[in-house]
Amino acid sequence: MRRIGIDVGGTFTDVVLLDAGSGEVWSLKVPTTPHDPTQGAMHGLTTILERSGCAAGTIDFVGHGTTIATNMVIEGKGALTALVTTAGFRDILELRRGWRHDRADLYDLFFEAPRQLVPRRLRREITERVLYDGTVDGTVAAAEIDSCVAELKRDGVEAIAVCLINSPINGDNEREALRLIREQAGDAFVTGSIEVNPEIMEYERTCTTVVNATLGPRCGQYARRFTASAREAGLRGEVYFMQSNGGMASPEIVADRPVALLESGPAGGVTAAARLCERLGIANALTGDMGGTSFDVSLIRDGQPELRNTTMINTYTVRAPNIDIISIGAGGGSIAWIDEGGGVRIGPQSAGADPGPACYGRGGTRPTVTDCNLVLGHVDAENFLGGDFRLDAAAARRAIEEHLALPLGVSVEEAALAVRQIANALMAQAMRLATVERGYDPRDFIYIPYGGAGPVHAVDLARELEIPTVVLPPMPGLFSAFGMLVADMVQDLQASLVANADEADPERVEALFAELEADARARMGDRTEAITIERRADCCYLGQGETIQIAFPAGEIGPGTMAALADAFVAEHRRRWNFDLTGRPVRVVNLRLRATAKIGEFAAGKATPRQGETLEPIGRGRIFEAGKWTEMPRYRRSDLRQGDELSGPLIVEEISTRISLRAGETLRVGKDATIIVTVGHA
């Protein structure tokens, strides 16, 4: 079987082709085309087919991850969207949740309200009403819907979000409104909260539904256009898209629910890291993905990525299952600058793919982290991307000198080193947020770095956090694209319950789970016989505003099952918060079902025989640190074989990145072409 993984990032589009039969792997990076990401993705697809000599018709599978959804929300470039809601709830998007403690801007005296997801003039109220207990107090009037849709069409809306109050308890009115609107809306994208986020908490549900609508036309068009372009190029295999939850889904599903794409690219890398941990017997790992625009951190505990149901993007709350990823603006393309106080700052502005860092020679004049790493010897100008992409070291020096070194009164190397140290400090802080601030000791984890710039900073970060071991995966610069090859098909579905555990009707709970399972199997098509089902529930003490997700006890659901679920919640609440609310009922808020079908395949590629009996360096390299240049041997990663051991100082480089070790640090080559580094600490 031949499989292709594609990850469209902010700077580069990464492509990996795996031939499972022969064990051969091909990979490449091509520039992302922000004006039309389809062009960059298709350029990568056709190029890797040419290099591998494989015909498009022989490819069985294409897995695709993309940043298109995230970029649209951040840049405000989504579709012109309208909101249809219950009378009296027109302004819920402005009211938000001002009491929430997790608002980073809560005490910002200069806070500027985020751009409105839906202009007030495009929010329409209808007079239906469902009461808190599901009683229908007023039905949907067809004439009112017709008038509303006619007005919105005159306003030129491209998408319509429907979010009626209390629909998670009784969705009849919202389903009827959706049916009527779709009959009249023409080509407009129409989506409802019962299809996207059927749970209580009105602001979060409304915001999630509106974000889905905003993304719908563009993301749906992208999914269809890429799939059609691949078919025109001769591809006959299956095409899947990576979701934020780390699982693959068909183009049709993500076109209807594009909110699932918001962490698509980063989720691929974490999924690949989890598969690698499974193969190597690693229980706990900390992952760091450093690409062109950001540094993304995630935890793997007991072999599984940490998941969450809520994410904040550009101050908007989105409720959808996703891998828990902490992101900061410290990527290789992040611009270094001097603030009003004379301090060196990094990001959040990025040089992106166009023009890119100064060393790319595409017109960029501002210094970036990549430019500084090039000047310091951590990036090789001659062998970047295997020599296919020559870097302009002189341009990097000019940018650093003009914007950093001269204003600071230091040498170019010293200015570049300051930028690298600040980047390391920012990334180390993000890693502490994922571990120390959640009660975990980073020294109990191994560190898995990837992304084009991840290995370049990996050992520095491990030293800073006293992490004893770094595991460099195969193809780290294209690891997120590799994740598209190893991920399985996943569907996360939910249903609202809202009942005390000791009062919930077991038959109703079983019926709701049966409906969710039937829906999941329908979405997964002909793979239904291989589906694994996991049942979970969101629980809290009665009166609490936040829930904890608890695994549902196995077996047939009865009164004893609900009691066991409540006991499991109490134990987890005590572990997490160190207290109980004795005598307080346990509330079940949502039922969740995860359906997984095995489609991923892990392969690190076939090792070719090494020329010569012993491992020899391919040359010498120089690294600037601690105020001086240190010369050390350079090794080519493709020359390393399982069981090889080396001691620092040294450099190991490959087509997309390189890693350096100091004296006293060692590496050995392990299973699946991994490099295992034992880190030295001061």
What pLDDT score was predicted for residue 189?
A: 95
CA distance 180 to 159: 15
Domain count, the chain: 2
Residues in contact with 343: Cβ distance below 8 Å, sequence separation at least 6, in sequence order: none
Classified as helix, coil or strand, 419 is helix
Domain containing 207: what range?
Answer: 78-216
Residue 648 lies in a domain: no
The pLDDT tens digits for 65-105 are 988 888 788 778 889 999 999 999 999 988 877 555 455 56
Would residue 526 count as lying in a domain? Answer: yes
Give the pLDDT confidence score for residue 36 in this predicted structure: 85
What pLDDT was estimated at residue 170? 92
Q: Is residue 153 part of a domain?
A: yes
End residue of a domain, out of 162, 187, 216: 216
> What pLDDT is attached to residue 602?
76
Residue 532 sits in a domain whose CATH number is 3.30.1490
- Indicate the pairing of strand 189-192 with strand 159-163: parallel
From the number of C-beta atoms within 10 Å of its C-beta (0-12, 13-18, 19+), residue 121 rates as: exposed
Amino acid (1-letter code) at residue 640: L
Q: What is the dihedral of CA 183, 194, 492, 586, to 10 degrees?
A: -170
Q: What is the pLDDT of residue 605?
A: 62
CATH number, position 88: 3.40.50
Q: What is the pLDDT of residues 470-498, one digit of tens each?
A: 999 988 988 989 999 889 999 999 999 88
Is there a domain that residue 171 lies in? yes
Q: How far apart are CA 319 and CA 171, in angstroms?
A: 18
- Residue segments in the chain with a per-residue pLDDT below the cut of 70: 98-106, 353, 383-388, 527-529, 604-613, 681-682
**Are 593 and 624 a contacting pair, CB within 8 Å?**
no
CA atoms within 13 A on the CB side of 405: 18
Q: What is the DSSP string of 608-667?
A: PPPSSSS----EEEEEEETTEEEEEEEEEGGG--TT-EEESSEEEE-SS-EEEE-TT-EE
User: 259-290: b or e for each residue (b if 16 or more CB lie within 10 Å)?
Assistant: bbbbbbbbbbbbbbbbbbbeebebebbbbbbb
- How high is the pLDDT of residue 351? 82
pTM: 0.87
In a domain, 535, yes or no: yes
Out of 597, 616, 651, a domain closes at 597
Q: Would residue 664 count as lying in a domain?
A: no
With respect to residue 126, please indicate whether it lies within any of the assigned structural domains. yes
pLDDT of the residue at 101: 46
Q: Tell me, what's the pLDDT at 178?
A: 95
- The answer as to whether 280 is a domain residue is no
| Residue that is last in its domain, among 581, 597, 613 | 597
